[in-house]
């Protein structure tokens, strides 16, 4: 049977799997859907048109699926979608999207969100990320897989952070961050490649060398950004398929950047 504390307020229209656990004084709204194995601790509020996958754990006082903090919002139906096996610690806030964008905020799977993390409207967060305490995303931000956001880091709206990037503590980001880059500061500055993280994830020596060379072409060569793109194209011609795939990830990110990169 579903384990719902008698003090919890679960709307009869909410769709909860029979294995979901709901703690004391939690509140779950009518348009919420929660899949198997998810645990909702005491005092959590889940509202809005929110869909939550399997085996997530929401700790106390999180506010999930609230309306976007956007003056343009006028009560339209928008959405929040959360994947599987995410850890959401105390006082996190995840907001639904806005009709001015895609209308949905999306969070992937296997992420860790520590206390007081804020995911604003229309953000997209990938898989296997770590958000340390008080990390915050403004609206429309895109976060790639395996990104680490250190404590008190903050991201300006519409920024993109590529896969495997590492954002240091107290960093203020107003531009895009290419894949694999380690950076910190206010304003943010690049400080190399996130080598330790890549080694832990099993990147080969060839892949690491290719990524380091790509970083040098973008950040250390004195080339313009367009010249760096051409140099990356040339670099890929001499690499193995696995190594070239990592360079292509960086090259494609440069084309997709809309705010310019931290450089």
Nearest-angstrom CA–CA distance, 255 and 221 = 19
| Catalytic sites, residue numbers | 121-122, 139
CB 172 within 8 A of CB 187: yes
| Long-range contact pairs involving 200-204 (C-beta distance under 8 Å, separation at least 24) | 201/146, 201/164, 203/246, 204/242, 204/243
Burial of 141 (0-12, 13-18, 19+ CB in 10 A): buried
Nearest-angstrom CA–CA distance, 174 and 101 = 19
Q: Which of 260, 257, 235 is nearest to 248 (CA)?
A: 235
The alpha carbon dihedral of 90, 33, 131, 185 has a sign of negative
């Amino acid at each position: 049977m579903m384990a719902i504390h008698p003090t919890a307020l679960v709307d009869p229209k909410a769709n909860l799997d029979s294995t979901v656990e709901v703690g004391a004084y939690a509140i779950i709204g009518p348009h919420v859907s929660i899949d198997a194995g998810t645990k909702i601790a005491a005092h959590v509020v889940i509202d809005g048109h929110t869909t939550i996958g399997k085996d997530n754990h929401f700790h106390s006082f999180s506010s999930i699926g609230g309306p976007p903090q956007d003056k343009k919002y006028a009560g339209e139906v928008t959405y929040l979608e959360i994947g599987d096996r995410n850890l959401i610690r105390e006082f996190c806030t995840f907001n639904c999207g806005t009709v001015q964008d895609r209308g949905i905020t999306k969070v992937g799977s296997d992420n860790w969100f520590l206390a007081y993390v804020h995911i604003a409207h229309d953000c997209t967060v990938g898989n296997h990320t770590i958000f340390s305490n008080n990390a915050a995303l403004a609206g429309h931000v895109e976060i790639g897989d395996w990104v680490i956001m250190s404590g008190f880091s903050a991201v300006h709206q519409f920024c993109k952070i590529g896969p495997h990037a590492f954002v240091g503590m107290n960093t203020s980001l107003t531009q895009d961050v290419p894949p694999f880059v380690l950076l910190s500061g206010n304003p943010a500055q690049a400080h190399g490649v996130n080598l330790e993280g890549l080694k832990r994830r099993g990147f080969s020596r060839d892949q690491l060398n290719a990524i380091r060379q790509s970083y040098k072409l973008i950040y250390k060569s004195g080339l313009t950004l367009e010249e760096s793109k051409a140099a990356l194209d040339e670099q890929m011609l001499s690499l193995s398929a696995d190594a070239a795939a990592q360079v292509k990830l960086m090259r494609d990110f440069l084309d997709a950047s809309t705010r310019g990169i931290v450089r």
